Chain A
Amino acid sequence: MIGIIAAAITGFTGFIIHLLLISNGFVKINPDWCIKKLKRHAQLLLAIWVLLIPVFYSIFVNISQRSPIDVTAIDTNPVLGYFYGIFFFLMFFFVYLTFYYVVDRSVSSRIMIEIERSPNKRLTYAEIMKVYDMDTKYKNETQGMVEGGFVKFDGKYYSNTPKGLAVAMVTAYYKKLFRLGKGG
């Protein structure tokens, strides 16, 4: 349990450092960059993660030694242990879900598959666009949003539901905060 607390404190500290470095321009991230901006975020986060490992260990040791509660009793408590296991299960599931959605929905994966399926294993841009029908893609995406309850369609116009509005506002805020540009 102390490990999770130390991880939460150290993790939160790292996220604040990440945001401060980006917002103050100490680390340059141009919203017009493509994958390069995500690479820059990844490099920065990895560096912060590695540099804060000693901080994690220090917090863990300090809490263990200074806690007024018997930490061994906490670690062997069966109820806390039960929820600890559920937390780990959900953690594994979340990580798996990120890979599942790459398999299910990744545009770049679809393009590579279509190239591989083609007779000469190569495609021009025009051939990719013919295989990857844009009208179908727009239809699938808008239909998905309607089915998911994010937008409603009145026969001509799409408008956000409260759920979609919440997603839109959070997304717009995060795109500004992390200097991601319009994206999509």
Chain B
Amino acid sequence: MLLAVCLAVIFFADFLAAHFIIFHFNPPKRRFRMLMMLVLASILAYTVIYWALYFIGVQRVFNGLINVRVVDAAGGLAVYFFFYYAYFHQIIVFDRSVTPRMMVEIHQSLAGKLSLDEIKARYSLENKIKKELEDMDIMDRIRKKDGYYVNTKKGLSHAKIIHALRDYLHIGGHQ
């Protein structure tokens, strides 16, 4: 079990490295598809290495390092945290995602279809921007002063990190 967790960490790091290198030097057009291919490649590599290490007896060594009950309990606690993270994240996605809201508007329309103008009338992205600005003020990312929006220190560091990652990975051009 400890061997499996260690290999999962190593191959996840390997996935991240491959993802950063490929997205930086050869940005793919279909980014999600590339991410999935990298995940599958990492799982394949993990499979080969895990079973190779098992057959040469490395797992027995790992099982002797830390009591398996302790590893099981710690792993369970990590999974317990993950379940809550995923549950809360799904609430955020359902609340704030643009395209699901558009699909709901289409679904709830009388004819079950909407033109672009009708979508704009039912779901104003301008109002979304206004709400985002209010939220950023509450979350101390920006401040409104004399009619101007200014980044706070928190907002500035957030902006710098996101900007650097977008530039490096060549993503974020379509939001």
Contact = CB atoms under 8 A, between A and B. Distances in A.
A138 B125 contact: yes
Contacts of B113: 154, 157-159
A137 interface: yes
Nearest to B59: A78
Given A168-B103, A168-B107, A109 B84 contact: no
A159 to B, nearest CB: 4
Contacts of A42: 88
Task: Give the interface size class of chain B.
Answer: 35 or more
A103 B99 contact: no
Given A157-B114, A158-B114, A172-B104, 12 more contacts: A36-B138, A53-B80, A85-B5, A86-B8, A89-B11, A92-B8, A111-B129, A122-B150, A128-B149, A151-B106, A158-B116, A164-B107
A123 B1 contact: no
Instruction: Name which of B100, B107, B120, B148 has the most chain A CB atoms within 10 A of its CB.
Output: B100
Interface of A: 1-8, 10-11, 14-15, 18, 34-38, 41-42, 45-46, 49, 53, 56-57, 60, 64, 71-72, 75-76, 78, 81-82, 84-98, 100, 102-113, 115-116, 121-125, 128-129, 132, 134, 137-138, 140-142, 144-145, 148, 150-151, 154, 156-160, 164-165, 167-169, 171-172, 174-175, 178, 180, 182-184
Interface of B: 1, 3-5, 7-9, 11-12, 15-16, 31, 35, 39, 42-43, 46-47, 50-51, 54, 59, 63, 68-69, 71-92, 94-104, 106-108, 111-116, 119-120, 123, 125-126, 128-136, 138-139, 141-142, 145, 147-151, 155-156, 158-160, 162-163, 165-166, 169, 171-172, 174-175
